[in-house]
Amino acid sequence: MKSPIDDVAYLVRSEHRITALVALSARPRSRSELGELTGVSSSTIRRTLREFESRNWVRREGYQYGATQLGTFVASAMEDVIDRMETERTLRDVWHWLPEDEREFTIEMCTDATLTVAEPDDPYRPVNRFATLLRETSEFRFVGSDVALLEPCKDVLRQQIVDGMRTVIIDPPTVARYILETYPEHCSEPLESGNLTVVTHDELPPYGVSLFDDRVAISCYDQDSGTVRVLIETTAPAARAWAESTYSTYHDEAQPLATERTAR
C-alpha cells in the first residue's frame, strides 16, 4: 500500500506535475493547453493526466480536464509548501541575523519580503537601500541601536527631515550622545525644524526596526564589526503589526532627549 509520501514524491519528481495540477485547480484545460503551459510533450501530459485520474485528483469534462476537490486540496497544499521553501531559500544564508528570539516575530512575516544583503564587493548595499526608502517616505519612525545604519545616511536623513519628513527616533543614550557630539551643526536644523523627535531607551533590541509610509524594514547587523548585514523590507500586515507593537513598547518606556542632555 502506497503512503502519502509516495504521492508527494510522485508530484515533485517532475516539475511539470505540480504546475499542471495547480493550473487545473484554477480552471479546466485541454491537454494541448497543459502542454503549452508546462513545456512537456503531449505523451507526457497524457501519462500525467492518467496518473491524476487514478488518484481522483482530476476528471475529464469533454476535451478538457478539471481538478476535483481532492485535486484542488492537494494543489493548494503543494503551493504552500513551495512558497515556504522559497522563503526558506531566501533566508537560508541570513536567518541567523534575524530577531528569532522575539516571540512575536515569525519567519512567515518574511514571505514576499525583499532582502538586501551586504556582499564583499558591495558592503553598503543595505545602507544604500535604506537611504532610498528614506527618500520615498513622508513619515519615518525608528527604534534600535543601529548607528551603522543611521550614520552613513545622515545627510539623506537630515535633508528629508528639514524638507518635512515627520521623524521619531528611539536611540540608546550612548548613540544619541555620540551623534549630537559628533555632528552638532548637522543635528541643529533638524531638531529646530519641529519634524524630529529623539527619545532614548537603555535596553533596545540588537537590530533596527524602521516604519515607513507603506512598509517596514528590519536591519540586522553584526555587533562585533558594527556592519549592517541584511535589510529586510516588507508590506505584510503581520510584519507591520509586529513592528508597530515593538516600536510602541519601547516608545512608551523611552525618555525625552532633553532628559538625556540634562543628565550629562
| Same domain as 80, residue 62 | yes
Contact 28, 66 (CB under 8 A): yes
Contact 179, 158 (CB under 8 A): no
- Give pLDDT, residue 256: 87
| Same domain as 154, residue 63 | no
| Same domain as 112, residue 48 | no
- Give pLDDT, residue 103: 59
Provide the domain limits for residue 19. Answer: 4-86
| Same domain as 47, residue 128 | no
- Give pLDDT, residue 262: 40
Which regions of 144-227 does DSSP assign to beta strands (E)? 166-171, 196-200, 207-211, 216-221
pLDDT tens digits, one per residue of 87-129 = 788 778 777 777 665 557 777 777 778 889 888 888 889 999 9
| Same domain as 189, residue 255 | yes
Provide the domain count of the chain.
2
Q: Residue length, the chain?
A: 264
Final residue in a domain of this structure, among 29, 53, 86? 86
Which of 173, 174, 128 minimizes the C-alpha distance to 149?
Answer: 128
**Is residue 72 classed as helix, strand or coil in its secondary structure?**
helix
The proportion of the chain whose per-residue pLDDT surpasses 70, expressed as a percent, equals 92
| Same domain as 204, residue 163 | yes
| Same domain as 256, residue 127 | yes
| Same domain as 167, residue 70 | no
| Same domain as 127, residue 60 | no
What pTM, to 2 d.p., does this model score?
0.72
Which regions of the chain does DSSP assign to beta strands (E)? 29-30, 58-61, 64-67, 114-117, 139-143, 166-171, 196-200, 207-211, 216-221, 228-234, 255-256
Regions of the chain with pLDDT less than 70 = 1, 99-103, 146-150, 226, 258-264
| Same domain as 17, residue 146 | no
